[in-house]
Amino acid sequence: MLTADPSLGSQLSEVKAGGHVKVSYKKNSSGQMIATKIAPADSLTARQPDLDDLIRVTQARYADAIRAYRMAQQQAATLAEVLAVAERTADDMKAAMDEAQRSLRDLLN
């Protein structure tokens, strides 16, 4: 059941059966919600986004995603280079350790 402020009588005459409306409410002293303003939905001032707006937003999001993807590719390439250097360094250190062990064995024998 809709409870409305008595001053809404003129606004209700603008509403057609089955029509969409925007309704503003407030609570009265007993906590009941009372409609204070009723407006047909077509009289609302909020602008619906048009196709061009949606295309621009989609293009901007796509561009952001491409930038993030390219940055991730660059970071992955950099990481691969760092890992390759670390692997070569580890191999060089193992070879040096093996050589040092051989030299130590030769000295002890």
List average pLDDT for each run of 10 residues in the chain, which is 109 residues long.
65 69 82 80 61 88 92 91 92 92 88
Q: Is position 94 within any domain?
A: no
Q: Is position 68 within any domain?
A: no
Q: Is position 10 within any domain?
A: yes
Q: Is position 25 within any domain?
A: yes
Cα 49 to the chain's mean position, in Å? 19
* Structural domain containing residue 16: 6-43
Rounded Cα distance, 99 and 70, in Å: 44
- What's the confidence (pLDDT) of residue 90? 93
- What's the confidence (pLDDT) of residue 5? 66
DSSP H/E element including 25: strand 21-27
The answer to whether 31 touches 10, Cβ cutoff 8 Å, is no
Q: Is position 19 within any domain?
A: yes
Q: Is position 39 within any domain?
A: yes
Q: How many domains does the chain have?
A: 1
- What's the confidence (pLDDT) of residue 94? 93
Cα 108 to the chain's mean position, in Å? 67
In eight-state DSSP terms, residue 43 is G
- What's the confidence (pLDDT) of residue 107? 87
Q: Is position 37 within any domain?
A: yes
